Chains A and B, each alone.
Chain A
Amino acid sequence: MSPRTDAHGAAKAAPIPERIATPIVWLGGAISALLILVVLCLTTYSVFMRYVLDRPPVWIDDLTGFVLVALVMLGVAEAYRGGNHISIDLLTGRLPRSLRKVQAIWSDLCVIAFAVVLIVSTWHAIDFAISFESYTSGSIEIASWIPQVPLLAGGVLLALFAVARLLGRVFRGTQ
């Protein structure tokens, strides 16, 4: 279990900012991958309890929801690092080499902007939930800001890696 250094991630050949950000982002991805197995276990446990022991656990759906949000947000930056987020390259695929770099920088800036929107909005939501002292509804009652924290973490991880990649591109360009 270690950060991938293949063609997608290219951590070994990557510029210094990316190399610094990679282990943090990879850790998020690794937790996300583990959470897939957790979701599998939770769902299987739920079926087992319902059909074998006739005691369906009512809290499973709520917990699965919390885990899902964490799973998505912790993995988003690692998928970005691996080039898994699709884009439409109908026009950009035909750009000359010099313009491709400009396009890549534009793409990084857009991802950073998206991450900032997510961070700012989640910060407000968490701040409001804390000041309002609200709790989640359903069978698991916890402070409602807690399940929102992964959104913040996801935004930060995405911004971190996008900034690192952007710096790497600019840094490479000056050499």
Chain B
Amino acid sequence: MTALLIFAGLILLLLTGIPIFAALGLTATAILLIFEGNIGSVADTVYAHLDKPILTTIPLFVFMANVMIRAKVIDDLYDMAHTLIGHVRGGLGVATVMACMIFAAISGSSVATALSVGSSAIPQMRRFGYPKREALGVVAAGGTLGILIPPSGPMILYAIVSEASIGALFLAGIIPGILLALIFAAYSIISAARRGGERPPFAGRGKIFSAIRKSIWAILAPPVVMGGIYLGIFTAAEAAAAGSVYALLVAVLVYRNFGFSDLWHCAYESMRTSMMVFMIIAGAAMFGHAITIIRLPVGVTEMVSHMGLGPFGFMLAVMVMIFIMGMFFESVAIILITTPILLPTMHALDIDLVWYGVLLMINLELAMITPPVGMNLFVIKGITDAPLSDVVRGAFPYVLLMVLGLLILVLFPQLATWLPYSAGFGR
């Protein structure tokens, strides 16, 4: 009953449109005042959660992406993918998914991926007769790969809250990310084959070589980041710094279009973007502290054990719950609200935290293209001026494809866990 009241209060507060961090913090304050009679522990809790060096990954990955975008290092990514594979039937859709994958591996953000790839891919697809909805849908869905393919901001947050290894989670996202991209690409090819119509001519080896050469510095960025983690050279925070240094070197020495004012711009924008996440972390830290004091997570564990759900039933129930929450709430909030509550139960049921993390990310990807609140739907609407209903309908087949991907991952956890555990990360 207490849990229900707390959640009802939190959801009500969130729906009044106040910043998420304030809703979390004020709910926590109310709990502390009612059950403890004071708020003395708030500052220590917030400090303890912000004092973690691993959090530097958030501003540094954002900074790396900002530098690459500002210096136009990634501008040629879509051209490269389109030159390479555009002539195949459905190739422009495949090129879009491919560009989204590479961009996701640089930016770590679904919104940035959809925004950047969408602005070049959608006009190109429309030019070659792609139905409007299909063009909108593939970008909306391809963009969501940003939170599954490492580096991923939401993955970092989940790792911090669950204390799962960030390196393991990053590696765990690679195969499912590629799997989803392949499913999207296959759908694109099949629907293009059914539809028929025009396609661009083969660009020729010379143009392909030139396109790859133009975008080589962008393509090399993911191996610099992930290779360092995979080989055990860097921690996640160091990999983020290495990626930022790489981006700066490429911008200054290769592209030669990056000065001090650009550096300032990137740092300032990274600050603004990161601050949104950091303050939700602060609010969620207060909320997590308050619900731990009243033993709410333990209560959930006891309830689940009374219901006799078992690991599979529990996971299924959680996935359905997160899918529903995803329709209304932002992914960062979902991670930070649900994880501390579910964590003790996952430990009790011996559920692999890395596997759960990947399932959670796919579910959050779904959240980005399901109405009424789907960030990528709004982004695509914003850059194309298309009616939201067209974007929603275009994205719908991909919702089904992602559910298929989610089911495959539920049935075959090794697809997520094999790579990190074979690289030496322990459970």
Q: Which A residues contact B (CB, under 8 angstroms)?
A: 1, 29-30, 32-34, 36-37, 39-40, 43-44, 46-47, 51, 60-61, 64-66, 68-69, 71-73, 75-76, 78-80, 82, 84-93, 103, 106-107, 110-111, 113-114, 117-118, 120-122, 124-125, 147-148, 151
Contact B26–A151 (Cβ < 8 Å): no
Residues of B within 8 A of A122 (CB): 43
CB <8 Å contact, A114 and B25: yes
A149 → B minimal CB distance (Å): 11
Asked if A124 meets B59 with Cβ closer than 8 Å, knowing A40-B244, A84-B276, the reply is: no
Task: Give CA–CA (A85, B272) in the complex, Å.
Answer: 9
Interface residues of A: mostly helix, strand, loop or mixed? helix
> Shortest beta-carbon distance, B13 to chain A, in Å?
8
**Selected contact of B279 from candidates A29, A85, A148, A151, CB within 8 Å:** A85
Whether, in the assembled complex, B212 has its beta carbon less than 8 Å from a beta carbon of chain A, the answer is: no
Q: Are B42 and A88 in contact (CB under 8 A)?
A: no
- Cα–Cα, bound, A46→B56 (Å): 13
Contacts of A93 in B (CB 8 A): 17
- Report B-chain residues with C-beta under 8 Å of the C-beta of A43: 56, 60, 237-238, 240-241
Is B43 a contact partner of A121 (Cβ separation < 8 A)? yes
CB-based nearest A residue for B16: A106
Shortest Cβ gap from A139 to chain B (Å): 13
Q: Is B385 an interface residue (CB 8 A)?
A: no
B328 touches A90 (CB 8 A): yes
The distance from the CB of B133 to the nearest CB of chain A, in whole angstroms, is: 24
A125 touches B59 (CB 8 A): no
Q: Provide a sorted-by-A list of 20 A–B residue pairs whose CB atoms are within 8 angstroms.
A: A32-B275, A36-B267, A47-B234, A47-B242, A72-B279, A80-B19, A85-B19, A85-B20, A86-B276, A87-B14, A90-B373, A92-B15, A106-B16, A106-B18, A110-B19, A110-B23, A111-B19, A113-B22, A114-B283, A118-B46
User: Chain B 221-247, CB within 8 Å of chain A: the 1/0 string?
Assistant: 000000000000110011011101100
Question: By the criterion CB–CB under 8 Å, are A91 and B20 in contact?
Answer: no
Residues A47 and B238 in contact in the complex (CB < 8 Å), given A39-B60, A88-B14, A88-B373 = yes
Whether B17 and A91, one on each chain, are in contact in the complex, defined by CB atoms closer than 8 angstroms, is: yes
B-side interface mostly: helix
Which residue of the partner chain, among B19, B47, B283, contacts A107 with CB atoms under 8 Å? B19
- Measured between beta carbons, the chain B residues less than 8 angstroms from A107 are 16-19, 22
Nearest CB of A to B293, in Å? 14
Q: When the two chains form their complex, are residues B19 and A75 in contact, meaning their CB atoms are under 8 A apart? A: no
Measured between beta carbons, the chain B residues less than 8 angstroms from A120 are: 39
Report how far A29 CA is from B13 CA in the complex, Å. 27
Cβ contact within 8 Å between A110 and B60: no
B42, B245, B276: the one contacting A85 at CB < 8 Å is B276
Partner pick for A65 among B29, B53, B240, B270, CB 8 A cutoff: B53
- Given contacts A36-B267, A71-B271, A92-B15, list 11 more A-B pairs with CB under 8 A: A33-B268, A65-B52, A79-B271, A84-B272, A88-B329, A90-B372, A114-B21, A114-B25, A114-B26, A117-B25, A121-B43
| Contacting residues, chain B, for A40 (C-beta < 8 A) | 60, 63, 241, 244-245
Name the residue on A nearest B233 (C-beta): A51
Of residues 103 through 159 on chain B, the ones whose CB sits less than 8 Å from some CB of chain A are none
Question: Are A86's CB and B20's CB within 8 A?
Answer: yes
Which residues of chain B have a CB within 8 Å of any CB of chain A? 13-23, 25-26, 29, 39-44, 46-47, 50-53, 55-56, 59-60, 63, 233-234, 237-238, 240-242, 244-245, 263-264, 267-268, 270-276, 278-280, 282-283, 328-330, 332-333, 372-373
Q: Is the CB of B19 within 8 A of A87?
A: yes
Rounded to whole Å, the gap between the CB of B336 and the closest CB of chain A is 12
Q: Report Cα–Cα, A117/B286, bound state, in Å.
A: 11
What residues on B are CB-neighbors of A78 within 8 Å? Answer: 271-272, 275
The 4 closest A-B pairs by CB, nearest first: A92-B17, A79-B275, A43-B241, A121-B42
Minimum CB distance partner of B275 in chain A: A79
A118 to B233, CA, bound (A): 39
Query: Which residue of the partner chain B has the closest CB to A67?
Result: B56
Determine whether the beta carbon of A118 is less than 8 Å from that of B42: yes
Complex Cα–Cα for A107 and B17 (A): 7
A147 touches B47 (CB 8 A): yes
Contact B18 A68 (CB under 8 A): no
- In the complex, the chain B residue whose C-beta lies closest to that of A1 is B264
Q: With A and B bound together, what is the CA distance between A156 and B274 in angstroms?
A: 20
Question: A37 contacts which chain B residues (CB < 8 A)?
Answer: 263, 267
> What CA separation (Å) do A86 and B50 show in the bound complex?
19
| Contact (Cβ within 8 A) A36 B63 | yes
Contacts of A69 in B (CB 8 A): 47, 50-51
Q: List A contacts of B19 (CB < 8 A).
A: 80, 85-87, 107, 110-111
Task: Please tell me which one of the listed residues A65, A72, A75, A125 contacts residue B44 in the complex, with CB atoms under 8 A apart.
Answer: A125
In the docked arrangement, what's the CA distance between A10 and B268, Å?
17
Bound Cα distance A36, B21 (Å): 21
Residues of B within 8 A of A30 (CB): 268
User: In the bound complex, what is the Cα–Cα distance between A79 and B52 (angstroms)?
Assistant: 21
Q: Known interface pairs A43-B237, A72-B282, A79-B276. Does A114 touch B46 (Cβ–Cβ under 8 Å)?
A: no
Whether B18 lies near A32 (C-beta < 8 A) is no
A148 near B47 with CB under 8 A, answer yes
Write out the residue numbers on chain B whose beta carbons fall within 8 Å of the beta carbon of A34: 267
